[in-house]
């Protein structure tokens, strides 16, 4: 068993849950290139990905090289793959949770590359769509808010996008169950949903920070890439259910107490 992208927040969590796996960072294998000699895994946990949503708008070719070409290179190994995808394959026009049979319609380059990456994984694959990942390592919303909250009295946060913030530790644990399911697409995200502003307020509250949240629109924020206004994921196929997002937040913060922001 190997893990790609082991230096990222999801890959790091997977390495903890699957200590028997060979954890490969980008330095070990940049998946935009063919696999190195000597790899013959019985399973690939494919966490390597381009995750910079706004950056994908500026450099769609590089995003595609990682998310599509990288997955094709992993599939060349001929082993079953767990590949993680995103809620951003949907356009957010629905107002009830997206399930596996809903038709994707990504708004931006990132979502398009992840959707094409799903197909690139081939038939021997579990595609795990998830959302709003955060953890004690890497670049993510929780770590950003904690840093800003320590510096400022008030932070402006978007309040017109709704999803399910998902703790990578819970997602990694759920992967143990996913690999016993038939191949296919599964939605695996935290229970409950909120806006980014709700999430920020919860982060400050749980961390004991007095930082205020000023709720703004996506238009006011002015991000490069469009995001779905609603991208809550749920499963109609018996995918593993995760704990509530706030429970994941507490678990993450307890780890950050040990490692720092």
Cβ count within 10 A of residue 87: 25
Active site residue 110: yes
**Integer angstrom CA distances of residue 83 from 192, 216, 259:** 23, 33, 28
Neighbours of 97 (CB within 10 A): 18
DSSP summary character for residue 246: H
State the catalytic residue, choosing from 88, 110, 186, 230: 110
Name the residue with tokens 């490692």. Answer: 259
| Torsion angle defined by CA atoms of residues 118, 120, 121 and 126, in that order, rounded to the nearest 10 degrees | 20
Q: How far apart are CA 21 and CA 51, in angstroms?
A: 23
Residues annotated catalytic, as ranges? 110
């Amino acid at each position: 068993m190997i893990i790609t992208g082991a230096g990222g927040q999801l890959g790091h969590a997977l390495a903890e849950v699957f200590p028997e796996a060979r954890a490969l960072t980008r330095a070990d294998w940049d998946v935009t290139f063919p696999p190195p000699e000597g790899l013959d895994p019985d399973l690939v946990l494919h966490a390597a990905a381009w995750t910079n949503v706004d950056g994908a708008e500026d450099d769609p070719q590089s995003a595609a090289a990682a998310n599509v070409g990288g997955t094709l290179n992993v599939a060349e190994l001929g082993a079953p793959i767990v590949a993680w995808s995103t809620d951003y394959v949907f356009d957010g026009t629905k107002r009830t949770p997206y399930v596996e049979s809903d038709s994707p319609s990504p708004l931006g380059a990132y979502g398009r590359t992840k959707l094409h990456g799903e197909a690139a994984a081939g038939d021997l694959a579990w595609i795990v769509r998830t959302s709003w990942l955060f953890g004690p390592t890497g670049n993510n919303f929780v770590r950003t808010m904690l840093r800003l909250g320590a510096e400022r009295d008030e932070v402006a946060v978007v309040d017109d996008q709704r999803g399910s913030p998902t703790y990578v530790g819970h997602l990694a644990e759920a992967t143990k169950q996913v690999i016993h399911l038939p191949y296919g697409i599964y939605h695996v995200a935290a229970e409950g949903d909120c806006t980014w502003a709700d999430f920020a307020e919860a982060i400050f509250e749980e961390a004991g920070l007095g930082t205020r949240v000023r709720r703004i629109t996506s238009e006011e924020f002015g991000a490069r890439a469009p995001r779905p206004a609603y991208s809550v994921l749920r499963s109609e196929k018996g995918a593993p259910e995760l704990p509530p997002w706030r429970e994941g937040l507490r678990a993450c913060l307890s780890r950050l107490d040990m490692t720092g922001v």
